[in-house]
Amino acid sequence: MGFLFQLTAVKVLALLGIYFAGAPRPVELTKPAVRVIDGQYLAVSCRLINPLTDDLKNIIESAAKVRVVYTLRLMRVGSPSHAADLDIVHSIERDQASGDYRIETPREVFRVSRLSDDAPLFRLNEARLSSADQLEGGRYTVAVTASLASIVVRATGQQFDLMALWNYEYPRGTSAVLTHNPSPKTGGRVR
């Protein structure tokens, strides 16, 4: 039954043109906060603003598993290459029997009865990006980009690009410049 409901919900949104109409308000990402944990790891925290469009909520309600992908990049200022890249996936699926939502992040699983823009699905909480001792001396920034992964309707095998719900605009945020000084004087601190 869940397959048919999922298929119907996604098809109705596509046929009515709502699927391609996009978000009524822009989805944004807060500026990533970066801190060093235990003197070893760079940890990144941020959250999405206005991520839950009506259409996205309808797709989640249909019991489709929806994934939000956060791409984190540690970039050395003035260098074209990235010092570190990491994709973190959060997912949500509605339990049709209980009506609750199961949100899975790399660290924990949540069960919530109500879906909101503030759900754990839409925020990163101290995601470990890189070991501070792997950094060379210099200045760095952390960039985070969020996206919705495509879904496949199980009943038909059709793929739908959920980024249409965000007008194909990928929310991005960049941290302030971090300075890493590996000298013995500073103890290799990141500021």
- Asked whether residue 126 is assigned to any structural domain, the reply reads yes
- Asked whether residue 6 is assigned to any structural domain, the reply reads yes
Parent domain of 75: 2-180
Instruction: Report the number of distinct structural domains present in the chain.
Output: 1
For each of the chain's 191 residues, which pLDDT tens digit applies?
554 555 555 554 554 444 444 446 799 999 999 988 887 888 999 999 999 999 999 999 988 899 999 999 998 888 887 788 899 999 999 999 999 999 999 999 999 999 999 999 999 999 998 877 677 777 888 999 999 999 987 778 889 999 999 999 999 999 987 776 655 444 444 55
- Asked whether residue 187 is assigned to any structural domain, the reply reads no
Q: Are 166 and 79 in contact (CB under 8 A)?
A: no
CB atoms within 10 A of CB 40: 14
